[in-house]
């Protein structure tokens, strides 16, 4: 993952530099927050980084990576600007938006081919994807314990 920092500092495509640095930080917290044993602090950092990234890094000059501390400070400033409830709502909405009722046939075929048509491997992949969604829900629950997932789901699918 440190290679991402090298790109952040010197990638010839200047407009991608900030994103490389942000992805480096996210790659370090995302997997940790996926674990069922993730601490509240890890889930909070994941939530802050995810919402900031999904919004396109508001307030950042995307052509310059100014370092990890500056990025985390901007992410938290944005988080405080929108508030815990809105951040939680966005985390839940992202999972809902990315969760089709059925996998497209082409994706299903590609997944089966890449896993040698092994049902156990496909099931393990699905379980891993569910744990990633669970991470967002656990972070949202931490931020907004009174959030109403059912009404948000109904509103987004209507």
H-helix or E-strand spanning residue 121: helix 119-143
**pLDDT tens by residue, 77-122:** 999 999 999 999 999 988 887 666 666 678 767 777 887 777 777 6
**pLDDT tens by residue, 43-63:** 999 999 999 999 999 999 989
Give residue limits of the domains in the chain: 2-157
Instruction: Give the dihedral sign, CA 26/141/84/157.
Output: positive
Non-local (6+) Cβ contacts of 79 within 8 A are: 47, 48, 51, 52, 87
Residues 63, 124: Cα–Cα separation, whole Å: 39
Q: What one-character DSSP code corresponds to residue 14?
A: G
């Amino acid at each position: 993952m440190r290679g991402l920092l090298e790109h952040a500092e010197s990638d010839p495509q200047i407009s991608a530099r900030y994103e490389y640095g942000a992805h480096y930080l996210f790659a370090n917290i995302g997997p940790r927050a996926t674990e069922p044993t993730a601490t509240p602090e890890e889930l909070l950092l994941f939530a802050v980084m995810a919402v900031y990234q999904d919004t396109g890094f508001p307030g950042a000059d995307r052509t310059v990576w100014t370092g990890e501390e500056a990025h985390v400070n901007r992410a938290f400033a944005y988080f405080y600007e929108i508030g815990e409830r809105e951040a939680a709502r966005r985390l839940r909405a992202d999972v809902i938006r990315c969760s089709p009722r059925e996998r497209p046939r082409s994706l299903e075929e590609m997944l089966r081919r890449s896993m040698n048509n092994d049902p156990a491997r496909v099931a393990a992949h699905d379980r891993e994807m569910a744990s990633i969604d669970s991470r967002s829900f656990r972070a949202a629950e931490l931020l907004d314990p009174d959030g109403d997932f059912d009404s948000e789901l109904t509103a987004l699918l209507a």
